[in-house]
């Protein structure tokens, strides 16, 4: 696989779970890959070493997605050290949940800062370095369209904003030959929401295929959107949800 040979990809929140799977897949496709992480530098280093072991080029940068200056600096460093930014995967996100009367304004501000503002800033900065054929791939959620349990209102709102931003940014960047798309996963087996975790039983009933998704399955969709065959796909909100919304 070498459809991304010569490309530079930045995956925010790429040290574990879905982000790590995406980083590894893009590297397998030939891209040089930078990841950002907020904490757990050991996990970020594991991703870098796995890519390097297979002959790829990788870079890990500590940058909180909710810190505007840190995001701006991370993008600038990627462009300087790896030679540009061709693919941005806005994967970093948080999901604090609580009933309305218990949801703090601090958590509200934080979820907007990371899931929405951080995504916008990363896109704004990365677009400065992108040429024709650039790709912006957002990781949203099926919850932007359906929220079947209590406590997830603000998370759903933030992912709804991602869906709307995707459509608008596709218009902004389309004339430059840059596509912008949003992948909306259903439940995926990661350490944040394990298939054997406390929420799994209640969520399983919504899945037509009767199982959680795999991080590698979402990464495969990212790889397609990042590649040349997806040049006519933009402004799309694409579900990969096991029939959650069927």
User: pLDDT (tens digit, 9 = 90+) per residue, 5-32?
Assistant: 999 999 999 999 999 999 999 999 999 9
Return phi, psi of residue 96, to 5°: -65, 135
pLDDT digits (tens, 9 = 90+) for 122-173: 999 999 999 999 999 999 999 999 998 899 999 999 999 999 999 999 999 9
pLDDT for res 90:
98
DSSP state of 190: B
Query: Residue 107: pLDDT band by 50, 70, 90 thresholds?
Result: very high
pLDDT for res 1:
60
Q: Which domains does the chain have, with CATH numbers?
A: 8-240 (3.40.50.720)
Judged against a pLDDT cut of 80, whether residue 119 lies above it is answered with yes
Q: From the candidates 155, 212, 224, 232, give the one annotated as an active-site residue.
A: 155
Alpha-carbon gap, residue 114 to 2, rounded angstroms: 32
Distances (CA, A) of 92 to 31, 72, 122, 132, 231: 19, 15, 10, 25, 24
Six-digit token string for 179: 């596509």
Number of H helices and E strands in the chain, helices first, is: 8, 7
Determine the average pLDDT of the residues in 88-112.
97
Model pTM above 0.85: yes
Judged against a pLDDT cut of 90, whether residue 236 lies above it is answered with yes
Determine the average pLDDT of the residues in 59-84.
98
Q: Rg of the chain's alpha carbons, rounded to an integer?
A: 17
Judged against a pLDDT cut of 90, whether residue 60 lies above it is answered with yes
Terminal-to-terminal C-alpha distance of the chain = 32
Judged against a pLDDT cut of 70, whether residue 61 lies above it is answered with yes
Judged against a pLDDT cut of 90, whether residue 196 lies above it is answered with no
Q: What is the mean pLDDT of the chain?
A: 96
Known active-site residue 155 = yes
């Amino acid at each position: 696989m070498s459809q991304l040979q010569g490309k530079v990809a930045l995956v925010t929140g790429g040290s574990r779970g879905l982000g790590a799977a995406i980083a590894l897949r893009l590297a397998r496709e030939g891209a040089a890959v930078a990841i950002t992480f907020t904490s757990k530098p050991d996990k970020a280093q594991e991703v870098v070493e796995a890519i390097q072991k297979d002959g790829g080029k990788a870079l890990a940068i500590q940058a909180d997605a909710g810190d505007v200056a840190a995001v701006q600096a991370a993008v600038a460093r990627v462009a300087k050290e790896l030679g540009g930014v061709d693919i941005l995967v806005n994967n970093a996100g948080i999901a604090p949940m609580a009933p309305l009367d218990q949801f703090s304004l601090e958590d509200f501000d934080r979820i907007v800062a990371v899931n929405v503002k951080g995504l916008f800033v990363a896109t704004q900065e990365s677009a400065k370095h992108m040429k024709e054929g650039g790709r912006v791939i957002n990781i949203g959620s099926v919850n932007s369209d359906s929220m079947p349990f209590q406590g997830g209102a603000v998370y759903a709102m933030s992912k709804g904003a991602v869906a709307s931003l995707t459509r608008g940014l596709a218009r902004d960047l389309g004339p430059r030959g840059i596509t912008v798309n949003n992948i909306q996963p259903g439940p995926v087996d990661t350490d944040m929401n394990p298939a054997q975790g406390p929420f799994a039983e209640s969520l399983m009933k919504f899945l037509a295929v009767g199982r959680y998704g795999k991080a590698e399955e979402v990464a495969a969709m990212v790889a397609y959107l990042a590649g040349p065959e997806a040049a006519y796909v933009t402004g799309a909100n694409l579900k990969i949800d096991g029939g959650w919304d069927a």
